[in-house]
Structure formats: C-alpha cells, structure tokens
Chain A
Amino acid sequence: MKTLKLIFIIFLIFSLNYLKANETDLQNKITKNLRCLICQGQSVYDSDSDFAISLKLVVKKKINDGLSEKEIYDFLTEKYGEWILYDPKFNKNTYILWFLPLLIFLGGAIVFKKLINIKK
C-alpha cells in the first residue's frame, strides 16, 4: 500500500510538471508571435525591455485566467493594433500579402508553360 501511495505521489508530481510545461509552452508560443513594439526587430519572447517583461506577465496572467490563444491575440490587437502580431490575420488589409506569393507562382507557371510551348 505504501509503495502504491508513493507511486501515486510521484505520478501526481510528474503530471503537474507536465501541465506547467504545457502552460509555459503556450506562453512561449504566444510571446514569440508578438512583436516588441519598442525594440527593433525583436519578439516579446526575445526582448528584456520593460515593455516586453510586462507583456510576458500579462500573457501569463491571461493564460492562467483561462483565455485561449486567439482571445489573447484579440485582446492585444485591440490595445496595440495588428502590428503587434508577427503572423498577420487574414482580412481586407492583408489579403494582398497572403495572395501575392500565390499570384507570383501562378504567373511564373504560365510564363514557364508558354516558354515550353514555344520551344516545342
């Protein structure tokens, strides 16, 4: 019985550890996708500025409050605008950004096909 208890305790500790690790993973994932607005070319995750440190705390707090990743992004875009996200959302301001590579690829394919046809 004693060993069973011990195993149970060890299991509990490990599972808590796992939960905590998941939480930090999510926090890191979110802060890596946030631009540090007062630094040049750094994410919130990489930066040690006052702004980034506070923002990391806010993200942590929001995760603890049970907010989802999307809800946290929405909260921060509402405060700081779309610019804070590295991965921009798909909307009327960003559709060119999303479709341009596809258009260029298609254009290239058409040109390539024509060239092959000419050679033939």
Chain B
Amino acid sequence: MKNKIIITIVIFFFTFVFLIFYQGLNNSNIYKPSNSENKIIPKFSAYTFFENKLVKSENIFNQKKFYLLNIWASWCLPCRDEHPFIMSLKENEKLEIIGLNYKDKQKNAKSFINNYGNPYSKILLDKDGTKAIEWGAYGVPETFLIFENQIIKKYIGPLNSESISEIKSFIK
C-alpha cells in the first residue's frame, strides 16, 4: 500500500514537472516587447535640431491631433529604408511628425535630411540616448503613434508599407 502511494506521488510529480517543461518548450525564448499599450507619453525637455532651443514636451504634443514620434539617426541603415515611408505621411494634415535624433553627429544628421528630405515638423536632439529610454525605446528606428498624450501604437524597427497603412487607418 505504502509503495503504491510512493509510486503515485513520484509519477504525479514527474508528470507535473514534464508538463511544465513541455509547456515551456512552446514558449519562444526571444523576447518580444508589447507594442500596443495605451501609455501616457513621458515628460521631458530637449533641444531642437535647427534652432538649438530648449523645448518642453508639453508644448509639443499639446494639440488635439495625431503625432508620430520617429527615433532616427543618420548612421542607422534601417532608418534610410523607412525614410521614404515617413516622407509619404508628411502631407497628411491630421498628423504631425516629430523626429528624435538619436546619438548622432549634427553634421551627418543634416546631410541625411538634405539627401533624403525632411518629413519632420520638429526635430529634437537626444545626444546621450536618455530621452529614448524615457520613451521606453530599445534603439533606432522606433516610431510611436500618439493621440491625446497617449501612445496608441509603437513600431519597433523600420516602418514598412503595412505599418504605414495601419497608421493611415488610425488617423482616418
């Protein structure tokens, strides 16, 4: 009788452990950050790219319209790929595109803008990358769609035609 109890406990225990590990096999070990969270945008102040004036975020995202914050750098190759897509959003009146220039040299960033065009109504500087951290960003490129001080959607990596049509459907 006692033996039976022990065998049952052991079998039960190993099945339990097996099930837990088996479940774990299906989980991806690549961390995917969630990208559709309604978080309030951080408050920060940054220098502007052209005028070199200190501005507060409250004075940037203060209108009742959609904002697209794009984190970019001239040294980042995927940023070049996504740039035409951002340019295609430039004419949209319901959307204001803000750039956050990440750990870049001003000279290189200027020539990037001159070569590929400037879709941004404002470009802010993030020389040490701390502003990107405040936004919860991982690196460049990263784009945030904002409405009424809330992040509606976060795009990690370069924008593509799919994400552009999604952004367009949001601001319709």
Contacts and interface: CB of A to CB of B under 8 A. Distances in A.
Interface of A: 37-38, 50-51, 53-55, 57-58, 61, 78-81, 83, 107, 110-111, 114-115, 117-118
B68 interface: no
Interface in B127-158: 128-130, 132-136, 138-139
Given A58-B133, A111-B9, A51 B138 contact: yes
Nearest to A60: B130
Size category of the B interface is: 20 to 34
Closest CB pairs A-B (n = 5): A54-B129, A79-B136, A58-B133, A58-B130, A114-B6
B2 interface: yes
Contact of B129 (A50, A115, A118): A50
A111 B136 contact: no
Contacts of B39: 78
Contact of B136 (A38, A57, A80, A114): A80
Contacts of B3: 118
B132 A37 contact: no
Interface of B: 2-3, 5-6, 9-10, 13, 31, 33-34, 39, 103, 128-130, 132-136, 138-139
B133 A37 contact: no
Nearest to A53: B129
B2 A61 contact: no
B5 to A, nearest CB: 7
A115 B6 CA distance: 8
Nearest to A115: B6
A65 to B, nearest CB: 12
Contacts of B5: 114
16 contacts: A37-B31, A37-B33, A37-B138, A38-B138, A50-B129, A54-B132, A55-B133, A58-B130, A79-B133, A81-B34, A107-B9, A114-B2, A114-B9, A118-B2, A118-B3, A118-B6
